A and B are shown apart, each in its own frame.
Chain A
Amino acid sequence: MARKIDVVFSDFQPGSALRAALGMTPTSVIELVTKSKLRGRGGAGFPTGLKWDAARSHRSDDKFIICNADEGEPGTFKDKNILEKQTAKVIEGMAIGAYAIGASKGFIYLRGEYKYLVKDLMKKIEELKSQNLIGKDICREKGFCFDVDIKLGSGSYVCGEETALIESLESKRGEPRNKPPYPAEAGYLGQPTVVNNVETLSFIPHILLNGAEWFQQFGTEKSTGSKLFSVSGDCRKPGIYEFEFGITIRELLKEIDADPDTKAVQIGGASGFCACSDDFDKPICFEGIPTGGSIIVFNKSRSMFMVLKNFVEFFQEESCGQCVPCREGCSRMLEGIEKFEQGRGSSKTINDLLELSTTMSLASKCGFGQSVPNSFRTIASKFKDEILSAGGGEVWRS
């Protein structure tokens, strides 16, 4: 039974972890993070230590570390709360990362919707500066300088993708780049850059203070530690939860007091997977059902057709339009789905869209287009009856 725990929002003495890091060599900081097996919480689950190591290995006097606070995945709101309540912890995670890779400048890329946080964040940054926890010769460590700036997004989901984010930071259209080169080699202004999610960074100080073994005691073999979940939809206790990786959907539903007639759970937002009751004993972790943390619960009264349509409308609107499989794919998928509403859809329509899904996941340039089919595939296979009978449906009740 996976436990409910409290790391991310636990008390923390600003400076304590940074001082511990500065007592080590940058390489041993990276080794520690690698040993903890911490994986990125932004969705892709890339090992943080490896990313840092790559950025460290590329030589440059101008490296950058970016905190990805774009949090655009439908149903996610944990990063906002972390930034609000644990600002110092997140920034300390950035400073430790900066020390490890050899960067002296960091950005928090904050989604435009969260502009109201800027004032408090700036205040906190000033406070940390006055405590010598950012700025020049930090913690009296000669030569270690690190400054943090806040940059705002302007309402674009794809800018959460790390290379689109970097383009946006450079004041360009938020269109993802080809990879390689990865940002660790050539990111912001062509310089080695690490992009980490807010939650990932918030674990770093704890790993520095408590060690890799401590971190590994939580979670599973391949998904160590805990994970924040943003819970919404048909349950009595929506909100933010921290659980160990490996928790089953059923256990989670119990904790959040989901409606007894829950028929589906969307895990990972629009770009994630839809689980039905057959899946409820599966674990949530990178080797099971992976997620950036969005959990949306649907009870029996909800139309899964409308859920699917809502997701595809979202994708169609947010596709950056740069590559054909994603731009055209999203529009065609929406057209196909609308056919069912108009009473023109058939099982052939579903098969055509499944074929389109394969093309999109294979040929799209970035994770956006590649993940559009996730919700279509899972909803269309698990709730095929609801799709085929969608015609004439008034809104939200099936």
Chain B
Amino acid sequence: MLRETLLRKLDHLIEFHGKARESVLPVLQDLQATYGYLGEETINEVARTFGISQTEVFSVASFYHFLNTKEKGKYVIRICRTISCELRDKANILRALESELGIRMGETTHDKKYSLDYANCMGMCDRGPSMMVNDDLYADLTPSKAVDIVLSYR
């Protein structure tokens, strides 16, 4: 990532969210949405911008499940592992996606396109099984539907 691009993006975000300490999380969320993860360089620049320590920014970033401090696939697939989806055969969805993508739960494809993760309840319990692909939420899945949806992300 070019440092200039990052700095320009950061300027933009500060203009929008402000530079108060309580704006760190919204800024991190937006950077995550743009770059897919918050690497060391990103964390350091955020720290410098807000005038706080890198450890402080890292400790915030690493607390939240949806913020990645390590590089992930362009599309992060999160399968709901909560009991209601489990009762509706979530296991079949997982199996279908694992074999389609050739990775196991928690892994990322070689081309860095897809990562497979678990998430807790997504509020789709009456329409499970459900999953998220980045910010998009899908319910009423069948194994083939899940595969089609995932492959539509290019």
Q: Is A214 an interface residue (CB 8 A)?
A: no
Distance (whole angstroms) from the CB of B48 to the closest CB of chain A: 16
Given known A-B contacts A168-B25, A296-B83, A239 and B126 have beta carbons under 8 A apart: yes
Q: Determine which of A173, A233, A239 lies in contact with B87 in the assembled complex, contact meaning CB atoms within 8 Å.
A: A233
Tell me if A310 and B26 are in contact (CB < 8 A): no
Q: Please, how many angstroms separate the alpha-carbon atoms of A282 and B15 in the complex?
A: 55
Residue A171 lies at the interface, judged by CB distance under 8 Å to chain B: yes
Give CA–CA (A318, B63) in the complex, Å: 10
B78, chain A: closest CB distance, angstroms = 9
Chain B residues contacting A112 (CB-CB under 8 Å) are: 29, 64, 66
Indicate if the CB atoms of A233 and B84 lie closer than 8 Å.
yes
User: Which B64-101 residues have a C-beta within 8 angstroms of A?
Assistant: 64-67, 81-84, 86-87, 91
B123 partner residues in chain A, CB cutoff 8 A: 71, 76-77, 79-80, 111, 113-114
Contact (Cβ within 8 A) B25 A230: no
Bound Cα distance A397, B14 (Å): 53
Contact with B along A303-322 (1 / 0, CB 8 A): 00011001101100110100
**Do the beta carbons of B82 and A74 come within 8 Å of each other?**
yes
**Count of A interface residues, CB-CB < 8 Å:** 55
Majority DSSP secondary structure for residues of A touching B = mixed
In whole angstroms, how far apart are the Cα atoms of A333 and B119 in the complex? 21
Given contacts A234-B87, A310-B83, A314-B82, contact A170 B22 (CB under 8 A): yes
Chain B proximity of A177: nearest CB distance (Å): 15
Instruction: Verify if B105 is at the interface (C-beta below 8 Å from A).
Output: no
Q: Is B141 an interface residue (CB 8 A)?
A: no
Task: Judge whether A1 is part of the interface by a CB distance below 8 angstroms.
Answer: no
Q: Is the CB of B87 within 8 A of A171?
A: no
Smallest CB separation, B101 vs chain A (Å): 22
Partner of A296, one of B64, B65, B84, B124: B84
Q: Known contacts being A173-B60, A230-B125, A238-B125, is A74 close to B23, with CB within 8 Å?
A: no
When distances are taken between beta carbons in the complex, the residues of chain B under 8 Å from A270 are 83
B136 contacts chain A at the CB level, 8 A cutoff: yes
Cα distance, A69 to B43, chains bound together (Å)? 28
A222 at the interface (CB under 8 A from B): no
Q: Is A154 within 8 A of B135, CB to CB?
A: no
Indicate if the CB atoms of A174 and B64 lie closer than 8 Å.
Answer: yes
Which of B64, B81, B84 is within 8 Å of A75, CB to CB?
B84
Q: How many angstroms from the CA of A233 to the CA of B83 in the assembled complex? A: 8
Any chain B CB within 8 A of the CB of A134? Answer: no
Q: Are A173 and B22 in contact (CB under 8 A)?
A: no
Q: Is A302 an interface residue (CB 8 A)?
A: yes
Decide yes or no whether A12 CB sits under 8 A from chain B: no
- Interface of chain A residues 129 through 154 with chain B (CB within 8 A): 151-154
Interface assignment of A243: CB less than 8 Å from any CB of chain B: no
Q: Which of A73, A113, A151 contacts B26 (CB 8 A)?
A: A151
By a CB distance below 8 angstroms, the chain B residues around A115 are 135
Measured CB to CB, the closest approach of chain A to B95, in angstroms, equals: 12
**Residue B122, interface by CB 8 Å:** yes
Closest to B121 in A: A74
Residues facing A in B96-127 (CB within 8 A) are: 119-127
Q: Which residues of A contact B146 (CB under 8 A)?
A: none
**Chain B residues with Cβ under 8 A from A396's Cβ?**
86-87
A74 near B25 with CB under 8 A, answer: no
Judged by a CB distance under 8 angstroms, whether A47 is at the interface is no
Distance, CA A152 to CA B128, complexed state (A): 24
CA distance A189 to B25 in the complex (A): 15
Does A232 make an interface contact (CB < 8 A)? yes
Contact partners of B132 in chain A: CB under 8 A: 113
Q: Is A348 an interface residue (CB 8 A)?
A: no
Residues of A within 8 A of B127 (CB): 238
* Nearest A residue (CB) for B119: A155
With both chains docked as a complex, state the minimum distance between the C-beta of B86 and any C-beta of chain A, in angstroms: 6
**B122 and A171 form a contact (CB under 8 A):** no
A65 at the interface (CB under 8 A from B): no
Cβ–Cβ < 8 Å partners of A174 in chain B: 63-64
Contacts of A77 on B, CB cut-off 8 Å?
A: 123-126
Given A74-B83, A74-B84, A77-B124, the answer on whether A156 and B63 have CB atoms closer than 8 Å is: yes
Min C-beta distance of B20 to chain A, whole Å: 9
Chain A's nearest CB lies how many Å from the CB of B120?
Answer: 6
CA distance A113 to B119 in the complex (A): 9
| CB 8 Å contact bits of B8-41 with A (1 = contact, 0 = none) | 0000000000000111111001000000000000
Q: What 10 A-B pairs come out closest when comparing CB atoms?
A: A154-B64, A155-B65, A238-B126, A232-B125, A155-B66, A77-B123, A171-B24, A171-B25, A232-B84, A173-B63
A/B interface sample: 15 pairs, CB < 8 A? A72-B121, A73-B121, A74-B120, A116-B137, A151-B25, A151-B26, A154-B25, A154-B67, A155-B65, A170-B21, A172-B60, A173-B63, A239-B126, A296-B87, A320-B63
What residues of chain B have their CB less than 8 Å away from a CB belonging to chain A? 21-26, 29, 59-60, 63-67, 81-84, 86-87, 91, 119-128, 132, 135-137
